[in-house]
Amino acid sequence: MNETSPITDLKGVGEKTARLFERIGVTNIGELLHYFPRGYEKFGEIQPISTVKEGETVVVYGRFQKPLSVQRIRKLQITSGIFSDESGSLRITWFNMPYLRNTLKAGAFYVLRGRMTKKKQLVLEQPAVFSLDDYRKIQGHFRPVYPLTEGLSGKTVEKAVRQALDHVVLSKEFLPIDIRKQYHLAEYNFALEQIHFPDDQEQMMQARHRLVFDEFYLFILALRQLKKEKEKQRQHFGIEKSERMDQIISNLDFSLTGAQKKVWAEIEEDLTGEFLMSRLIQGDVGSGKTILAFLALFLIAENGWQGCLMVPTEVLAVQHFESLQTLMQKQHLPWKTELLTGSMTAREKREAYRRIREGEADIVIGTHAVFQEKVEYKNLALVITDEQHRFGVRQREALSEKGQMPHVMVMSATPIPRTLAVILYGDLDISVVNELPANRLPIKNCVVDTSYRPRAYHFIERQIKEGHQAYIICPMVEESERMEAEDVITYTQNLRQVFPSEIRVEYLHGKMKPSEKNEIMERFLHGEIDVLVSTTVIEVGVNVPNATVMMVENAERFGLAQLHQLRGRVGRGTAQSYCIMCYGKDSRKTKERLEILNQSNDGFYIAGEDLRLRGPGDLFGIRQSGILAFRIGDVFQDAGVLQEANDAVNTTISDKEYPDGEKYQILSGTLRHYMHKDLYNLNL
Ligand code: ADP
Ligand code: MG
């Protein structure tokens, strides 16, 4: 067995389990070993019951004085009892595990490990149960906690990984020894073992450091190779500037900001220049990137070519399509636009494909449906992706293969400093839209606890009476017995009771059918819904300028960069907008973090401060949502390592003793599975 062997070579992994593994992107052993834990459980010291505190994971040793009782509350079966040691006693509950009443005997001693939560009193919820002997064996160890999918248990993954580590012939160390020495990097096989089953915190950190370095190093190396291959390709589209563009710009409802003008000039130069465009347009939420995309598409259409705009969600596709239509109608522009999404009927799609193939469509807007195999373009000259971090490598590749290589423009609101952007987007030129439209009032923020809700609702009601709309974000879709967090469905029901009946409350979440989502968004956009309760599906790109309130429930559960994106959904028009961040769990740290959002509206600053506050110890804490999703590295947190990896790549490439052909060989073979297939956003 080696890293390329199929996962079914492992004992106990049959077809059925293999299918579950496939869902998390694991088909062979190498991928399994690079499926990293998202955190660890530590089996700590046993402590006296009198010292347990709310919110902590605790380990206690004692016994139940009386047999456990089972109670039924609605759909839940709650098993509970009082557990005591010499120092005190504690209430214990389990959900839907009634059989424990027969297995746990009154009077016998057990070790319980779990989290203390506060209901009416302090309760130890859902603890794991051990005998003292068993617990002593694992005490002091870290146990990996893996991200999972339904049907696949942490135990199954853990067992498979352990077996793989014991039996697989791992790849050889691939980094040159000089680099390892210079950057103090642990050995590859050691790192793989320790990331899953660390001996202690120290080893875990070392393992992680090495793997983060690998990930960045290989990524940057791949990028350089790409740049080498793609360097300055000539374009043959013969696109020319047009006065019509200036007319369009002067007839807009607003005048472009200085930054927009500057970036538009850069785009125009690229499109009409000698070489193919590869440009990243970076700009904070609300800086007005969409109009730049539209202008680029117009210039292409004006020159008789086709252009397409690809976005990560259908909701966004429909929205862009509509605002493009509106703009074109207002200005009587002659071009034909086509919407292409997954939820269109087969017949609609066929029709659309025909129009694209025959060149009837000048501008195509859609989700990844725009590059389905069946789509053929007559003369595609420009591909734009919006909020590109949601796009995969192969998707873009597939699109470039439809005809001659088109111009590529990428738009992103990812708040990363320029020094990092230069490394991460090494193959792209970068333009920054570093100015918000002048008519914007800064968003007013407040950070509050749940007792503030009645006032918040009252406030929202008043905003609605003034003709505005509001978003309320909840972290979850449905009620869960395990998690104490607000969910969209229950919240909506409650809110309908709270508000007078003329206020229309609807919900939106990722598990709804695309057509349902579209319908809700459409109605919200047209003012037929007043309050939209939603998960973070609206995080990217949604533009409803009439919405003036963004309320986020359980704000403590979101990364600050993500909250900043969410907040960016309001403050898009001329009216004063508000962001209410409501935290469910009160802690000084939470407040301090959220206060950063209160102080600043600058995405770069916020991401940096979040990082500083979390500190280097919080390795597996809240991630900055979907931005630049590396497998283990975090662009913000590991910015230093990213820089080092970049230096190391420079060393590798300029190394005279390393034959040119071999420099990039590191990238081939089994190490490819570092390159998380669909995460990397560049057109590799
Ligand atoms: P983002 O950069 O987040 O994609 P959008 O392109 O969606 O931002 O723009 C946000 C809002 O600002 C839209 O309603 C858009 O019409 C408007 N807008 C864009 N540019 C300007 C401008 N120069 N002046 C006023 N409003 C603008
Ligand atoms: Mg946008």
Nearest ligand 1 atom, CA 545: 14
CA angle, residues 74, 80, 82, in degrees to nearest 5: 150
C-beta of 435 in contact with ligand 1 (< 6 A): no
Dist CA 65 CA 70 (whole Å): 16
Q: What is the pLDDT of residue 625?
A: 41
296 C-alpha to ligand 1 centroid (Å): 15
d(CA 602, CA 415): 9
Torsion on CA atoms 221, 224, 228, 232, rounded to nearest 10? 160
Q: Which ligand is nearest to the CA of 541?
A: 2
- Cβ(545) – ligand 1 distance below 6 Å: yes
C-alpha span between 480 and 485 (Å, rounded): 8
The secondary structure of residue 547, as a DSSP letter, is E
What pLDDT score was predicted for residue 423?
79
Which amino acid belongs to residue 9? D
Ligand 1 pocket mutation, candidates 252, 543, 544, 566, criterion most atoms within 8 A of CB: 543
Q: Is 222 in the pocket of ligand 1 (CB under 6 A)?
A: no
Structure tokens at 242: 């047009």
Chain position carrying tokens 């010291």? 45
C-alpha pair distances (Å), 26 with each of 92, 98, 134, 623, 671: 37, 35, 32, 22, 14
Which residue ranges of the chain lie beneath pLDDT 70? 170-171, 226-232, 387-404, 414-416, 427, 480-483, 539-541, 586-587, 611-629, 656-684
* Angstrom distance (rounded) from CA 286 to CA 301: 26
- pLDDT of 415 reads 65
Ligand nearest to the CA of 309: 2
The verdict on the CB of residue 571 being under 6 Å from ligand 1 is no
Ligand 2 center to residue 289 CA distance, Å?
A: 6
Q: Which residues contact 55 (CB under 8 A, 6 or more apart)?
A: 115, 116, 117, 585, 587
Q: pTM value?
A: 0.70
CA distance 488 to 508: 8
Report CA(285)–ligand 1 centroid distance (Å): 9
Partners of 508 in beta bridges: 534
Bridge partners for 42 per DSSP: 142
| Cα–Cα dist 385/406, whole Å | 13
Residue 398, classified by CB atoms within 10 Å of its CB into exposed (0-12), middle (13-18) or buried (19+), is middle
188 touches 173 (CB < 8 A) = yes
Instruction: Please report the pLDDT score of residue 654 as a whole number.
Output: 78
Listed in sequence order, the DSSP H helices in 287-389 are: 290-302, 314-330, 346-357
- Contact, 643 vs 217, CB < 8 A? no
Q: Cβ(469)–Cβ(527) under 8 Å? A: yes
Ligand 1, pocket-test mutation among 290, 326, 385, 440, most atoms within 8 A of CB: 290
Q: Using the 8-state DSSP alphabet, how is residue 669 labeled?
A: G
Q: Which atom of ligand 1 is nearest to the CA of 433?
A: 2
Residue 402: per-residue pLDDT: 62
Residues 6+ apart with CB under 8 A from 366: 308, 309, 310, 311, 317, 338, 339, 340, 341
Q: Which atom of ligand 1 is nearest to the CA of 439?
A: 25
Whose CA is closest to atom 9 on ligand 1? 288
Ligand 1 atom index nearest CA of 285: 3
| 290 CB near ligand 1 (under 6 Å) | yes
For 184-214, give one letter per residue: b (16+ CB within 10 A) or e.
ebbebeebbbbbbbbeeeebbbbbbbbbbbb
Q: Which of 248, 252, 254, 548 to mutate to test the pocket of ligand 1 (most atoms within 8 A of CB)?
A: 254
Counting atoms of ligand 1 from 1, which one is nearest the CA of 386? 4
